[in-house]
Amino acid sequence: MRTPSWIPVFYVGPAALIMVAACLYPVISAFHLGLFDWSMGTPWSEAKWVGIDNFISAFQQARVWSSLWTTLIFAAVCVSAEMVLGIALALALEKPVRGTAFFRTLFILPMMIAPIAVGLAWRYMFDAQFGLINAVLVVLNISPQIWLADPTLAFAAIVIADIWQWTPFVFIMMVAALASVDGSVIEASRIDGANWFQMTFRIKLPMIMNVIAITLMMRLIDAFRVLEVIYVLTFGGPGDSTEILALHIYKTAFIGQQLGVAAAISVLLLIVVALLSWCALRLSNPLKNDR
């Protein structure tokens, strides 16, 4: 007996409506707030309607575009390194060897630590006087560096912290994906004389390309939303060399008390993330793209 078409809608519909409402309400609220000039601590009745002035002001600010550029570079460097390292670690620990369980547990520990704690830990490690990293450099006869006071080194510091924390996420996703690869295909390729390089780059990785694309999309979205680690580690400094767009939105809203402008900038961030997500989803379904 064929199931009536309304039954799936009846069961899935309420959850879908809740998800749509939960996703759309913040977006609509941010766009609505961007149409007003309102400061926190004042009644909403005193909010002044300014139309699209906040959006125009936000898009005309050079600091907004510099923060967006910093965010793009940060996301590109971090996500690229995390994907390469995560896939490499998953391939290295794919076969059961002595200590595999220990190393797998060790690799996922950074992801379990709260972002604030990660920021504090790396801030102490990068400390110019008492930091562990400078102590190691002294042992290696390399002059200590003022990590968080130099724009280039400070950017490198937030990149290192992010790679350390989120490479385990890529590692877990890749381990699960490689475990789902059909063993008969691998065995057939081995019988045909394929070496490790051919089996990895022509068989295994193409077979898990959908998982790789989804993982890439999730990490790109997270890279654009990262805030706590950079807030604690550098607070966007020195100057604005490490001020990503999410941190700039925070400063505009809670330090500059320009909630309308901050909401307008958040709409820009939403558009950028949505475009990147769309591109990743297109990459995750190559057969559909060929039609």
pLDDT greater than 80 at residue 288: no
What is the pLDDT at residue 272? 83
What is the pLDDT at residue 284? 64
pLDDT band at 3 (very low <50, low <70, confident <90, very high): confident
What is the pLDDT at residue 126? 94
Cα separation, 212 vs 205, whole angstroms = 8
Please state which CATH class domain 61-290 belongs to: mainly alpha
Instruction: Give the SS3 label for residue 52.
Output: coil
Q: What digits encode the pLDDT tens for the residues 179-192?
A: 888 888 888 888 88
Cα separation, 207 vs 192, whole angstroms = 18
Cα separation, 170 vs 80, whole angstroms = 11
Instruction: Give the SS3 label for residue 37.
Output: strand
* Region 134-148 average pLDDT: 92
pLDDT band at 285 (very low <50, low <70, confident <90, very high): low
pLDDT greater than 60 at residue 250: yes
Q: Average pLDDT of the chain?
A: 87
pLDDT greater than 70 at residue 290: no
Query: What are the beta bridge partners of residue 266?
Result: none
Q: Which tokens belong to 71?
A: 């965010």
pLDDT greater than 80 at residue 223: yes
Q: Pick the range with the lowest mean pLDDT from 78-82, 259-263, 274-278, 281-285.
A: 281-285
Cα end-to-end span (Å), the chain: 34
What is the pLDDT at residue 210? 86
Q: What digits encode the pLDDT tens for the residues 69-105?
A: 999 999 999 999 999 999 998 888 877 667 777 777 7
Q: φ, ψ for residue 36 (rounded to 5)?
A: -125, 155
Instruction: Give the SS3 label for residue 49.
Output: strand
Higher confidence at residue 9 or residue 82? 82
Q: What digits encode the pLDDT tens for the residues 39-76?
A: 877 888 888 898 889 889 888 889 999 999 999 999 99
pLDDT greater than 70 at residue 231: yes
Q: Which tokens belong to 233?
A: 């580690």
